[in-house]
Structure 1
C-alpha cells in the first residue's frame, strides 16, 4: 500500500506568493494523509518484520493520526487499537476510525500522559502488539519524512513545515543534510513555547545549522485559533483553491505570508511549503467558520 505515491509540487497562483511552491502531500491519500503516510510507511514495515499484527497508538478525539493508523491497519490486514485522550465522545473522526475496525479505549488525561504504562497495562501479554507513539513519532517516521527531500527535482532557498512533535521537521532536515543542500528549513511550531521542538529534532539529527524556528505563530497553542486565523484560512483558500487546516498548515502559511510581507524573506528567493495534509481536522472546528 505504500508503493504508490502522488505528491506533486505546484506553484501557488497568488500575487503575495510570487515564488511559493507547495509539495502536495495532502494528495497522497484521503485518510492516510500527508506526513501520516510518510511516518507510517516504515513503522508498518518494522511491524511486519517483527511479525506483529496489532497496531496500538495514541491520540486526541480529532486526531488525523488515529484515522491514518486505522486505515493503514485495515488495508494491511492488521488489527488496530487507540487510546483516546479524554472522556468518551462521538465525532466524525472517531467514526472513521471505528469503520476501519479500530478499537477505541477512552483514557483520562492523567493516565494518558504515561503511554508506556497504558500499553503495558493492556497489552503486556500480547506479543503481536506494536507500540506506536502519538503522532507516529519515531526513528522510522523520520526516515519516511526525509524522503520528501529525495523526491524534489528543484532546489529551494527555503522550505517550510508546521510542527507538533518535530518528527517531520527532523526528517526534512536529515534529507537536507544528506543531500548537501544549503536550503534553510523553517519550522513553525503549532504549540505555545515551541522552542522544545529543536531539542526533539536534535534527538534524530545533530546538525541543526540550517534550522530556523518561528515560535510566534501558534495562535494561542495547539488546536487554538483566533478570528484572524480563520479569516486568513477563508481568504487563502478562496484565492488559491488550496485547502488548509486550522491546526497545522494554516499557521505555516500565515507565517510564510507574514515573513514575505515583512521582507524577512527576499522577493527573489524560492520557497517550498510542505502541505502535510490533516484536512479532516477541519471537522473539529466547523462551528468557527
Structure 2
C-alpha cells in the first residue's frame, strides 16, 4: 500500500527552541516527498485516452524519478527532456536518473538533438513536441502548475488538523522553495480557511525576484503569496558551500535525515529569521523528502570538505 498522505509530525530542538517537523519524507519513496503532493491529482483522476506524460528539468531532479513512478503506475510513457546529461550521471547505479531509467523513463538529452536550434528546454517542448502529442499530459518543471493545488491543499488540511489538535494559537510553516508551488498553495489554503498559520520560505533557485515571479504566475493575488526570508548572502543553486554541509550535519544529528540540495539553505534561512526577529510563534519545518538525491550529493561534499 502506497502512503501518500497523513504523515506524522515530530519535534526536534534547533537554534535553542523546539521545531516541529512535518515528515513528508515518510511518504512513499517513489514520490519523493512533495512530489507525492504535487502529483496526487494525476493518481486520483482519470485521463481518458492519455498514453504519455511529458516533463522536463534536471537529469538529477526528484521530479524525474517521481514522474517515472507515476507513469509506471498509470501505464503511461514518460518523455522527460533535459538540457544535458553529465557523463558521471549516466554511470551511477543509484539516484534519481538511474531509478527513473529502471522505471522505463525516456530521458531526452536536448544537447544531442539536431533540431534544437538554440531553444531552451521549455521552448523546445512547446514548439517541437506538444503540437505532435495530442494524447499526452504536460507537467511543467518541478510540478509548477494548477494541478498541484489539489494535493498541496490536502497537505495543508493535514497541517490544519494537527494545528487544532495541538491547541496552538498561531503557527509558522517553513520550507525552502524552488518553483514556490508548494509554498504558495499552502499559504493560499491557510488564507482561504482563515486560520492563523502563515508560510515562510526562501529562494533556493534563482533568487528572491525569480521566486516572486513564480508566485505571480501561479496567482496574481498577493494575499496568497508567502513571505520570503531574505538572506544576507547570495547562494548559487547546486553549488557546494561549507556552511550548507555543516548545517546539514547539524540538523541530521537530531535523528532525521534531510536532503542536501534545498534543506541546508532552508535551515540556514530559518535560523537567520529566528535570530533577526523577536518572533516566538511555533515553527513547523516541512520535510519535503528528496533523500534519493543524497546518493550523488553527499560524495561531492565529502570529497570537497571531508567527512
CA distance in 2 between partners of 1:258 and 1:104 (Å): 39
Structure 1 residues 15 and 215 mapped into 2: Cα distance closer, same or farther (>3 Å)? closer
Question: How large is the RMSD of aligned CA atoms in angstroms?
Answer: 2.5
CA distance in 1 between partners of 2:117 and 2:287 (Å): 32
Residue in 2 that maps onto 1:274: 286
CA distance in 1 between partners of 2:123 and 2:225 (Å): 33
Structure 1 residues 118 and 281 mapped into 2: Cα distance closer, same or farther (>3 Å)? same
Answer yes or no: is the 8 Å Cα contact 1:164–1:189 preserved in 2. Answer: yes
Q: Please list every run of 5 or more consecutive structure 1 residues that lacks an aligned counterpart in the other structure.
A: none
* Corresponding pairs, count: 284
Question: So what's the TM-score if we normalise by structure 1?
Answer: 0.88
Matches within 5 A, 1:160-171: 160-171=174-185
Structure 1 position 79 matched with structure 2 position 77? yes
Residue in 1 that maps onto 2:231: 216
CA distances 1:143-184 after superposition (whole Å, capped 9, x unpaired): 321222211221542111111111111111111112112323
| Among candidates 147, 150, 153, match of residue 140 of structure 1 | 147
Residue in 2 that maps onto 1:125: 132
Answer yes or no: is the 8 Å Cα contact 1:184–1:210 preserved in 2. Answer: no
CA distance in 1 between partners of 2:59 and 2:245 (Å): 21
Answer yes or no: is the 8 Å Cα contact 2:177–2:202 preserved in 1. Answer: yes
Matches within 5 A, 1:1-289: 4-12=4-12, 14=13, 16-45=15-44, 48-87=46-85, 89=87, 90=90, 91=92, 92=94, 93-108=96-111, 111=118, 113-118=120-125, 120-122=127-129, 124-152=131-159, 153-154=162-163, 155=168, 156-205=170-219, 206-208=221-223, 211-216=226-231, 220-238=235-253, 240-260=254-274, 262-266=275-279, 268-285=280-297, 286-289=299-302
Question: So what's the TM-score if we normalise by structure 2?
Answer: 0.83
Q: Please list every run of 5 or more consecutive structure 2 residues that lacks an aligned counterpart in the other structure.
A: 303-307
